[in-house]
C-alpha cells in the first residue's frame, strides 16, 4: 500500500499510468489477484452503492427516531426545481442524506471509508454518473482513485472518529470523493492529489460528537457537507488551483490535529453537540426508552 500521494503521482508519471491504474496494480500485488478479479470486486462495491441509493425508503426511521425521512424531503425539494444550489448539487445533497439515513436504519451500505461517512463518496459519484453519463466501468476506475487516497490517509493518519475526530471520517471521505471527481473529469494524478488536499484542508479540525453516541446526529448532515466540499475542491483543482501545503503534509496535519483533540471530541459522545441541552435530552430519552425511541 502506498504511504504517500506523492509516491502515487511519481509512479503514475514514471510508468505512464493513470492514478487508478497505479492503485489497481498495487491491489493486485498486495492481494495476489488478477487485474480482472480486482476490477470485478471494485465494480461490485460501486454497484452496491447504486443499489443502496435505489433502495432508500423515506418511510423508515431509525430506532432512536433521530433519523429518517429527510432524504425524501430533500428529493421533493429538488424535484420542485427551486433550490439555491441548483439541481445537480441538490441531488448530491439528497443522496448523501439518503445513504446516511439508510445506515442509521440498518440498511445495506458501503463504508467509504467508514459507515459514518458512507454518504459522501456515493453522493458525488452517483450524481456525476447521472449528470455526465459515465459508464459503470468509468465509475469503478474512479472508485479505485477514492480507495487509493483513503489508503494513503489510513497509513499516514487514521480514518476513525474515535482516533482523530470527524475530520478523519468525513474529511477522509471528502478527500476521496474530490480526487475521484477530478479523475472522472480527466484530471491527472497531480490534480487528483491537489483536490484531495483542498477537501481535507477545509474540514480540518472537525470534531466527532455523536448525540446519544449514535452515528445519526450530526453525522448524516455532515455527509452532505463533505460531499459539497469535495465538489468545490475538485473544481478548484481542475481550474489549476493548488494547495499551498503539499497534499501529504495536509494529511500529516490532520493526524496531528486528531491527536490533539480531547477525548470528549473523539466519538465518546461527551462533548460538542452531544453535550448541549438538546443532545443531553435525546440521550436521556433513549436511556429511558431502552434505545427504542
Question: What is the rounded CA–CA span in Å between residue 273 and residue 270?
Answer: 9
Query: What is the rounded CA–CA span in Å between residue 19 and residue 68?
Result: 37
Q: What's the pLDDT score for residue 116?
A: 98
pLDDT, averaged in runs of 10, over the chain (293 residues): 96 98 98 98 98 98 97 98 95 98 98 98 98 98 98 98 98 99 98 98 98 97 98 98 98 98 97 98 91 51
Q: How far apart are CA 191 and CA 241, in angstroms?
A: 9
- What is the pLDDT, as a whole number, of residue 264? 98
Spatial CA neighbour of 85 closest among 73, 95, 96, 77: 77
C-alpha cell at 216: 445519526
Q: CA 215 → CA 129, 132, 161, distances in Å?
A: 28, 32, 10
Q: Which of 134, 116, 249, 108 is nearest to 186 (CA)?
A: 134
Q: How far apart are CA 118 and CA 169, in angstroms?
A: 9
> pTM of the predicted model, to two decimals?
0.97
Amino acid at each position: 500500500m502506498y504511504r504517500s500521494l506523492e509516491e502515487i503521482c511519481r509512479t503514475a508519471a514514471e510508468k505512464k499510468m493513470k492514478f487508478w491504474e497505479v492503485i489497481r496494480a498495487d491491489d493486485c500485488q498486495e492481494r495476489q489477484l488478477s487485474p480482472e478479479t480486482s476490477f470485478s470486486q471494485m465494480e461490485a462495491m460501486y454497484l452496491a452503492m447504486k443499489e443502496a441509493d435505489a433502495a432508500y425508503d423515506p418511510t423508515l426511521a431509525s430506532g432512536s427516531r433521530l433519523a429518517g425521512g429527510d432524504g425524501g424531503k430533500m428529493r421533493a425539494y429538488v424535484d420542485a426545481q427551486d433550490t439555491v444550489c441548483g439541481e445537480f448539487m441538490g441531488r448530491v445533497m439528497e443522496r448523501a442524506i439518503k445513504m446516511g439515513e439508510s445506515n442509521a436504519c440498518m440498511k445495506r451500505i458501503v463504508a467509504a471509508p467508514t459507515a459514518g461517512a458512507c454518504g459522501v463518496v456515493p453522493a458525488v459519484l452517483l450524481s456525476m454518473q447521472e449528470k455526465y453519463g459515465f459508464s459503470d466501468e468509468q465509475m469503478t476506475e474512479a472508485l479505485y482513485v477514492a480507495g487509493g487516497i483513503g489508503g494513503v490517509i489510513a497509513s499516514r493518519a487514521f480514518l476513525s472518529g474515535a482516533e482523530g475526530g470527524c475530520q478523519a471520517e468525513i474529511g477522509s471521505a471528502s478527500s476521496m470523493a474530490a480526487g475521484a471527481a477530478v479523475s472522472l473529469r480527466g484530471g491527472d494524478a497531480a490534480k487528483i492529489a491537489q483536490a484531495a488536499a483542498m477537501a481535507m484542508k477545509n474540514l480540518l479540525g472537525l470534531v466527532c460528537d455523536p448525540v446519544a453516541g449514535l452515528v445519526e446526529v450530526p453525522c448524516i448532515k455532515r455527509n452532505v457537507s463533505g460531499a459539497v466540499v469535495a465538489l468545490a475542491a475538485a473544481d478548484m483543482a481542475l481550474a489549476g488551483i493548488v494547495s499551498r501545503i503539499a497534499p501529504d503534509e495536509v494529511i500529516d496535519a490532520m493526524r496531528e490535529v486528531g491527536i490533539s483533540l480531547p477525548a470528549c471530541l473523539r466519538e465518546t459522545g461527551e462533548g460538542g453537540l452531544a453535550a448541549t441541552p438538546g443532545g443531553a435530552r435525546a440521550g436521556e430519552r433513549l436511556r429511558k426508552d431502552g434505545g427504542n425511541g
